[in-house]
Chains A and B, each alone.
Chain A
Amino acid sequence: MSQASAEAIADTSFLVDWARYRRRDLLFQVFDVVYVPESVLRELKYPLAVDWVAESMASDKMALFTETAELEGEARRIMAMGRGRPLKRIDFPEALCLAAGLRFGYVVLTENGGAYFAPRVLGLNVAVWRAFELLLEAWRRGLVEDLAAELRRYEEETLHLFRRRDWELVCRLTRC
Chain B
Amino acid sequence: MGACMSLDEVLEWEEEGRRVRRERADWQLIESLPPRLRAAVKFFIETGDLRLAQLLSGLDYEDFRELLRRARVPVLL
**Chain A residues engaging chain B, CB cutoff 8 angstroms:** 12-13, 16-17, 43-46, 49, 86-89, 91, 94, 111-114, 116-117, 119-121, 123, 126-128, 130, 159-164
Chain B neighbourhood of A91, CB < 8 A? 51
B75 an interface residue at 8 Å Cβ cutoff?
Answer: yes
Q: Does B50 lie within 8 Å of A117, measured CB to CB?
A: no
Given known A120-B4, A159-B75, contact A16–B61 (CB-CB < 8 A):
yes
Nearest CB in chain B: distance from A161 CB, A: 4
Is there contact, CB below 8 Å, between B75 and A45?
A: no
Interface set, chain B 10-50, CB cutoff 8 A to A: 10-11, 13, 16, 20, 47-50
A49 touches which of B4, B13, B62, B75 (Cβ 8 Å): B62
In the bound assembly, the distance between CA atoms of A91 and B47 in angstroms comes to 15
Asked whether B62 lies within 8 Å of A164 as measured between CB atoms, the reply is no
Are B72 and A159 neighbours in the complex by a CB distance under 8 Å?
yes
State which of B5, B62, B76 has its C-beta within 8 Å of the C-beta of A43.
Answer: B62
Write out the residue numbers on chain B whose beta carbons fall within 8 Å of the beta carbon of A44.
62
For A113, give its contact among B48, B60, B62 (CB under 8 Å): B48
Q: Which residues of A contact B65 (CB under 8 A)?
A: 16-17
When distances are taken between beta carbons in the complex, the residues of chain A under 8 Å from B47 are 88
Q: B1 near A119 (CB under 8 angstroms)?
A: yes
* A163 contacts B49, C-beta separation under 8 Å: no
Task: Give the CA-CA distance A82 to B70 in the complex, in Å.
Answer: 32
Min CB–CB distance B68 → chain A (angstroms) = 8
CB-CB nearest in chain A for B8: A86
**18 residue pairs bridging A and B, Cβ less than 8 Å apart:** A13-B50, A13-B75, A16-B62, A43-B61, A45-B61, A46-B62, A86-B7, A87-B10, A88-B48, A112-B50, A113-B13, A119-B1, A120-B5, A130-B77, A159-B72, A159-B75, A160-B77, A163-B16
Inter-chain contact B75/A17, CB cutoff 8 Å: yes
User: Which among A111, A113, A117, A120 is the interface contact of B3 at CB below 8 angstroms?
Assistant: A120
Closest to A94 in B: B51
Contacts of B50 in A (CB 8 A): 13, 112-113
B6 vs chain A, min Cβ distance (A)? 9
